[in-house]
Amino acid sequence: MDVKSVGVIGAGQMGNGIAHVFALAGYEVLMTDISHDALEAALRLIDGNLERQVSRDKISEEERAGAMARIRTTMTLADLGATDLVIEAATERETVKTAIFEDLVPHLKPETILTSNTSSISITRLASRTDRPEKFMGFHFMNPVPVMQLVELIRGIATDEDTYRTCVGVVEKLGKTAASAEDFPAFIVNRILMPMINEAVYTLYEGVGSVQSIDSAMKLGTNHPMGPLELADFIGLDTCLAIMNVLHDGLADTKYRPCPLLTKYVEAGWLGRKTQRGFYDYRGETPVPTR
């Protein structure tokens, strides 16, 4: 299938990044959200990020203007029915995603490919709630989308070869690299990354090291660009906890038990950068460890 238009569901951190890269690659983009303010904020953010790319000579001013002209917004989910490829990037809750698909499916063209940017939820299960499990895939971008080169493509049990090949072609046109994953909890990246972050929280919880010493040890000792606790704050502690719960529930192995301290931070509403407090406090000029 020749994909020319893309619908993006959700104008948050992932949704606006996805809209950004698709528009820059020449696709017509229609982005939707339940909040008008979120859509307006997303457009401003995309424009600012494109301007930054212009200032760094990554793209030309003409490319920036062209990309912005290719992005349209709507608050009517049904409007996405006319697009060739839909990428759902809503909240990482299965009930929310399922409700969106049930509302959208009656309006889709028969040939439209439906995908989810989920970082951990079963693609097979999500696909089974639609009328096109053979045209359903996991299309998982990494954050921040314009910067990160990887896209995980996850086939559900019913996903057909044409759908997979079409999505591989789309990833190539975006200038990114596809990694194919089987449909098991958290796929590849988060199956490996989240237990590492969870173990770092256990290391803090058990008093083996402080926030600063844990992050410094991993940055300097393993050459990671960010320490695991700093990275958890960047991702969102609620997202980290949700993925650990998916791993724990889906694989029934105690090694995936979320650290009680991670749960406590989420209960406090200290979710990381987006709430200004997590393992670091971001309310001052420089981040300060909270433990």
Could you say which of 88, 94, 152, 230 is catalytic?
152
The residue among 246, 266, 267, 278 whose CA lies nearest residue 93 is 246
Does 92 belong to an annotated binding site?
Answer: yes
Could you say which of 119, 120, 122, 198 is catalytic?
119
Cα–Cα distance, 8 to 3 (Å, whole number)? 14
CB 42 within 8 A of CB 67: no
- For the question of residue 190 being annotated catalytic, the response is yes
Could you say which of 94, 117, 120, 140 is catalytic?
140
Cα–Cα distance, 246 to 242 (Å, whole number)? 6
Cα–Cα distance, 255 to 196 (Å, whole number)? 11
Does 40 belong to an annotated binding site?
Answer: no
Cα–Cα distance, 28 to 19 (Å, whole number)? 9
Cα–Cα distance, 228 to 222 (Å, whole number)? 11
Does 10 belong to an annotated binding site?
Answer: yes
Does 4 belong to an annotated binding site?
Answer: no
Does 12 belong to an annotated binding site?
Answer: yes
Does 81 belong to an annotated binding site?
Answer: no
- For the question of residue 107 being annotated catalytic, the response is no
Could you say which of 5, 120, 122, 190 is catalytic?
190
Does 11 belong to an annotated binding site?
Answer: yes
Does 232 belong to an annotated binding site?
Answer: no
Residues near 130 by beta carbon (within 8 Å), at least 6 away in sequence: 101, 102, 105, 114, 136
Does 119 belong to an annotated binding site?
Answer: yes
- For the question of residue 152 being annotated catalytic, the response is yes
- For the question of residue 20 being annotated catalytic, the response is no
The residue among 240, 12, 33 whose CA lies nearest residue 145 is 12
CB 54 within 8 A of CB 64: yes
Does 143 belong to an annotated binding site?
Answer: yes
Does 138 belong to an annotated binding site?
Answer: no
Angle (CA) 211 149 97, round 5°:
80
The binding site comprises: 10-15, 33, 92, 97, 119, 143, 274
The binding site for NAD(+) comprises: 10-15, 33, 92, 97, 119, 143, 274
Active-site positions?
119, 140, 152, 190
